[in-house]
A and B are shown apart, each in its own frame.
Chain A
Amino acid sequence: MLTTVVERLKIQFSNSILEIREFRDETTIHIKKEDIVRVCAFLRDDESCLFNYCSDICGADAYSPENRFEVIYNLYSLSYKHRIRLKVFIDESDLHCPSVISVWPGANWPERETYDMLGIIFDGHNDLRRMYMPEEFEYFPLRKDFPMMGVPDSIPLPRK
């Protein structure tokens, strides 16, 4: 089933696909950052794809000089019961990434979480506030250079 999806993508977006990887029956496709919304909209609407459920969006920090961050989209089709994973590289110099809430409204909170934990700014997101950490918190805890015990006094405690 997924070979058709991959073939369809290859025909439609030959210039947007950076890499296609297959590992233990899971397909991962690297997409150019600027094309992610178009690719997502296609995957949702195309008759042979129908990825109508965005099960999760998360981020990763490779701590490398180039393409430090990744945004990972896990998609599922409730009609065909197949899954696909999309990845987008984000460089540290440009932390912006297009938001896909226009494609799946349910992507709202996962994108907020990714912003909260890694500091990736989703352009076009309507409510990009912090999810878990206090609003006045200045750091991004899931980055590799964040100390595990946190920055002392960065979150105020009530007076004893």
Chain B
Amino acid sequence: MGLEHALGDTALTTTIDSAINWCRKNSLWPMPLGISCCGIEMMAFAMPRFDVARFGAEVFRFSPRQADLLIVAGTTTYKMATVVRKIYDQMPDPKWVIAMGACTSSGGMYRTYSVVQGIDQFLPVDVYVAGCPPRPDNLLHALLMIQEKIQRGESKSTPMTVAAERQEQQLLQIQGINNN
């Protein structure tokens, strides 16, 4: 952050950005959220036959605090939506979301009162994967698309702007003073 503050968008900072994005895209740490049958295909995607390690995303973290890619793999009910959102909120920025399968993307065949008709109603989704469930290859393709997005510096999540960050730091300082 400090370098951008000092130099702005110069040749040096944009080159560094590009290098950082290259590192990021090749070391994604997914947070697996296998909440129904898509989860099985997601496991296959991590196993040696399809081997997501080829793309540097093999470190499946079961803590959202250590992940930067959320794979929502399965039917998301209204009751589960709160949980999914909470996990997403716990992930550090920058972060990306894959909506895997028909149910997650649109409610799929569950056109009913209990299932959210697409998780984009409460989450910013970067890539949708078609299929019921999708083949692991399809999920690999989604991962490659996420990598392209990262290289371009895009994310649907809204990281804090510099101004908002400063504001929050000031607020924290004031609160700290009050607490002391």
Give the CA-CA distance A133 to B113 in the complex, in Å: 10
Give the CA-CA distance A148 to B116 in the complex, in Å: 13
Q: How far is the CB of B34 from chain A (nearest CB, A)?
A: 20
- Which residues of chain A are near B82, meaning CB under 8 Å? 158
- Which residues of chain B are near A134, meaning CB under 8 Å? 78-79
Verify B81–A157 contact, CB threshold 8 A.
yes
Q: How far is the CB of A145 from chain B (nearest CB, A)?
A: 13
Give the contacts of B105-153 with A (CB-CB under 8 A). 111-114, 116, 121-124
Give the CA-CA distance A141 to B85 in the complex, in Å: 25
- Which residues of chain B are near A149, meaning CB under 8 Å? 111-113
Q: How far is the CB of A139 from chain B (nearest CB, A)?
A: 9
Which of A133, A148, A150, A157 has the most chain B CB atoms inside 10 A of its CB?
A157
Verify B121–A157 contact, CB threshold 8 A.
yes
Give the CA-CA distance A160 to B121 in the complex, in Å: 7
Give the CA-CA distance A159 to B79 in the complex, in Å: 14
A135: nearest chain-B partner, CB-CB? B79
Give the CA-CA distance A147 to B114 in the complex, in Å: 12
Verify B78–A146 contact, CB threshold 8 A.
no
B123: nearest chain-A partner, CB-CB? A160
Contact with A along B71-82 (1 / 0, CB 8 A): 000000011011
B124: nearest chain-A partner, CB-CB? A160
Give the bracket for the number of chain A residues in contact with chain B: 10 to 19
Contact with B along A114-142 (1 / 0, CB 8 A): 00000000000000000011100000010
- Which residues of chain A are near B112, meaning CB under 8 Å? 148-150
Q: How far is the CB of A57 from chain B (nearest CB, A)?
A: 21
- Which residues of chain A are near B114, meaning CB under 8 Å? 132-133, 141, 150
Residue from A150, A158, A160 within 8 A of B113 (CB atoms): A150
- Which residues of chain A are near B122, meaning CB under 8 Å? 157-160
Verify B79–A141 contact, CB threshold 8 A.
no
Give the CA-CA distance A155 to B113 in the complex, in Å: 9
- Which residues of chain B are near A160, meaning CB under 8 Å? 121-124
- Which residues of chain B are near A155, meaning CB under 8 Å? 78-79
Contact with A along B7-50 (1 / 0, CB 8 A): 00000000000000000000000000000000000000000000
A159: nearest chain-B partner, CB-CB? B122
Give the CA-CA distance A151 to B82 in the complex, in Å: 18
- Which residues of chain B are near A159, meaning CB under 8 Å? 122
Give the CA-CA distance A146 to B114 in the complex, in Å: 12
Q: How far is the CB of A44 from chain B (nearest CB, A)?
A: 35
Known: A132-B79, A134-B79, A149-B111. 9 other contacts (CB 8 A): A132-B114, A134-B78, A148-B112, A151-B113, A157-B78, A157-B116, A158-B86, A158-B122, A160-B123
Q: List 15 A-B contacts (CB under 8 A).
A: A132-B114, A134-B78, A141-B113, A148-B113, A149-B112, A150-B112, A150-B113, A151-B113, A157-B116, A157-B121, A157-B122, A159-B122, A160-B121, A160-B122, A160-B124
Nearest 6 pairs of A and B residues by beta carbon: A150-B113, A158-B85, A155-B78, A158-B122, A157-B122, A160-B122
